[in-house]
Each structure stands twice: as structure tokens, then as C-alpha cells.
Chains A and B, each alone.
Chain A
Amino acid sequence: DAKTTQPPSMDCAEGRAANLPCNHSTISGNEYVYWYRQIHSQGPQYIIHGLKNNETNEMASLIITEDRKSSTLILPHATLRDTAVYYCIVRVASNTGNQFYFGTGTSLTVIP
């Protein structure tokens, strides 16, 4: 069962910020939001994750709403190499460990 909802596709002009939204309205208090991306024929690659505070690293920024029901991944200056499928994931904790539930992802195309 999908725990996240994302638009199926988006375009972004090269050099502009790409803002990818994600809805996770059923998220629980101890569940983290992760973002991964997958370039064709490769395995998914970690981008960033957070619980409730906004996070930034060398790749992207993650903005999580105060009620934690949605988030946005921001790629500040998109390049052609950022063309990929981006997955918003909820990490569910259990007694035996963590489970990562992938949604259907957003296919981002960066346009020259």
C-alpha cells in the first residue's frame, strides 16, 4: 500500500530550481521521509531525509510542512544530469527494523 503520492512527471528548465512535491498524509510521528532518485538502468541513489525539520545537503533541500503531511524536494540549480525518477519514501519503524516503502515516483525531465 502506497504511503506517498507524487505527480507522475514534471519538467524543469536547466539552471532553475526543481521543486518536487510529495504527499504523505498518513505518516506517523516517528516515520522519516526519504528521497531517492533513479537514473535509467541504475539502482536508486540516496538524496536526503528528514523527520520534521527542514534539511539541506550538497545535493538538495527538503522542506517538510509543520503538520508533516507533505514535503518538497528542492534541487536548487537543476542540470541535465538531474533528469531521473525521484521517489519520496516513508521509512516505517518496527520491532525488527526499518522498512522503506517506495511510491510510483516523479519522472523529472530537465530541459536545456
Chain B
Amino acid sequence: EAGVAQSPRYKIIEKRQSVAFWCNPISGHATLYWYQQILGQGPKLLIQFQNNGVVDDSQLPKDRFSAERLKGVDSTLKIQPAKLEDSAVYLCASSLSPRGLYEKLFFGSGTQLSVL
């Protein structure tokens, strides 16, 4: 079974530029998550989708971050404009069911963003 795919693997930009990350979840997984992981910290949830609808974006800095999952499959996370503090690894995860007792998150390898 193919895992969660993310691209690019690495990205270096200057502050005030924009950047986009792409995620393709495991086939059939209804729920998709974007996490931000700053060096030395645990992943922090940015946004959660159930199919193509947002169920939690309370920690997404909406003045500069946006995300979409138009057809309920793959997703794009965008930062515009980027700040130095956005330097982090952006992890995408998916799960089969949002409420299942045995729900597990499956993570991609992440995109490492460096803002100079």
C-alpha cells in the first residue's frame, strides 16, 4: 500500500516570498491533517479536513496560511508571505476514519522549509 506522499522534500525561500506544499494521502483515507513541526518541538496541528471540508483550523495563522482539499483527495498548504518563524517541517497525515476506535494517523516524510 502506498503511503502518504508529500512534495517538495525541501524548500528554501526568502522572507516575504510565497510557497506551496502538496500532499496526497493514502487512497480511501477521508481525513487529512497538516502539522507544523518546529525544530526540537512536537508536531502542532494546523488544519484538519474531513473529505473536502475543514473540521478544525483553529491554529492556522489565517492571515498568511491557507489550505485546500478541493476534491477530497490531495491537498495544498500555502504560505504567503513567509516569515522567518515559518521555518519548520510541514507534515501531512491521513486516517481512514475520523471517529473510529482504532483510528491511526499515517504520516508523510514532510517538507522541510527554510525561510532566509
Query: Which positions in A face B, CB cutoff 8 Å?
Result: 36, 41-46, 49, 87, 91, 93-94, 96-105
Contacts and interface: CB of A to CB of B under 8 A. Distances in A.
B98 A44 contact: no
By size class, the interface of chain B is 20 to 34
B16 interface: no
Interface stretch (B38-46, B64-72, B75-83): B38-46
Interface of B: 4, 31, 33, 35, 40-45, 48, 50, 55-56, 91, 93, 95, 98-99, 103-110
Contacts of A41: 109
Interface centre among B35, B42, B56, B110 (most CB of A within 10 A): B42
Nearest to A46: B104
A14 B80 CA distance: 46
A18 B50 CA distance: 37
Contacts of A42: 109-110
A102 B33 CA distance: 13
